Amino acid sequence: MSLKGKKILLCVSGGIAVFKAAALTSKLFQTGAEVKVLMTDSATEFVTPLTFQTLSRNDVYKDTFEEKDPGSVAHIDLADWADLVLIAPATANMIGKLANGIADDMMSTTLLATQAPVWVAPAMNVHMYDHPAVKKNMNVLRSFGCHFLEPGEGLLACGYVGKGRMAEPEDILSTLHIYFNSPSDLEGKKIVVTAGPTREPIDPVRYFTNYSSGKMGFALAEEAAKRGAEVTLITGPVSLSTPERVERIDVVTADEMYHEVMAAAENADVLIMAAAVADYRPAYIASEKVKKSEGSMAIEMERTKDILWTLGQMKTNQILVGFAAESERLDEFAQKKLEKKNLDLICANNIKSEGAGFDKDTNIMTLLRRDGERLELPLQSKHDAANRILDEVIRLDVTRK
């Protein structure tokens, strides 16, 4: 894995995960990257600047007013120098500063001045990571175009168990390698992806829905765009940020999704239907809130339009990919769906498997092709799984030519 010649500005803010940043500096240097390290004062309480200087073979920066070269302004020079800025670890404090435009030290000042892509590797206590203010600030940074390296789950330095551990240096390195060396093998392809749940109203207050978070569909849209595709993402109600270079269309009900998909499908080369669309909806929607009464209540349900089956009937040269989230007899049900809906590829997962259920950042899948070929995907991030699915889409496209 090589990042030869890439200029990486590593911003190290204070926290116990600073020791990981030292290991990351060494690994980046070993891959051929040129690394310059910028530290906050609190970061130097955990690891000395001398450690980073030794590992990076470059000066370490921490004081806005310590100008090493009188011919330039250090924080502006660093901001312009970088091909990529990586904040690792990124504390809640530094995330908050950057989200709100605060520039009160060298790191925050440099971050506001840079035009390079910014990657953020959060590291903090699980409750801090889950705090509404931190979540809001991270969403603000996403809207600014910052990329996030999701923290891991496990035992934290504070003794809590949960999400908040800084991503491992090896995983960060792998992600940066993919970022700098991502293929453009979907250049010119028009891809439609669906994601998330639908909501089927009962009355003005209540609705039927499911546990889908939209993470798999959003990962597919993001990775397809990175590989050069023109992506339209049609999504039900989710709390995810729109991936870069992706056109997003928001819907609520299965009927709305049906109409948007049909409108987009005509000009698409690839259709990837990852949404968990409701199979049934209330036959009657009350115009006023339904009041509770004694005894039980029955709600008559009617079928929604089958988007995947309709696409299978109308497709010409498009590649059609479906999903099967099952809790039993995975292969049997997935194979039946593949045939019945005239799919080219189906991505099947058992929602009871550890790490493969709804609202997870990981997945375990079996990919079944119409020609009988199958591929087992072990536990991996949804972004990695998305790229494996897109690899299969490329293979299907090549075999048709």
- Residues carrying an active site annotation: 158
Q: Which two tokens stand for residue 294?
A: 């004694």
Note the helical H segments in 202-329. 215-226, 254-265, 307-314
Distant-in-sequence, close-in-space partners of 65: CB < 8 Å, separation ≥ 6? none
Beta bridge partners of 282: 301
Q: What is the distance between the alpha carbons of residues 58 and 207, in angstroms, rounded to a whole number? A: 58
Dihedral angle computed from the Cα positions of residues 187, 221, 98 and 132, in that order, rounded to the nearest 10 degrees: 180
Q: What is the distance between the alpha carbons of residues 190 and 266, in angstroms, rounded to a whole number? A: 10
378 burial via Cβ count (<10 Å: 0-12, 13-18, 19+): exposed
Collapse the DSSP code of 164 into the 3-class scheme (helix H, G, I; strand E, B; otherwise coil) and give the result. Answer: strand
Q: Which two tokens stand for residue 96?
A: 């908050």
Instruction: From 307, 353, 358, select the one nearest 330 (Cα to Cα).
Output: 353
- Rg of the chain over CA atoms, in angstroms? 24
Distances (CA, A) of 308 to 131, 137, 273, 337, 339: 38, 37, 7, 10, 12
Question: Which pairing describes strands 118-122 and 147-148: parallel, antiparallel, or unpaired?
Answer: parallel
Tokens 């990852």: give the residue. 274
Q: What is the distance between the alpha carbons of residues 90 and 75, in angstroms, rounded to a whole number? A: 18
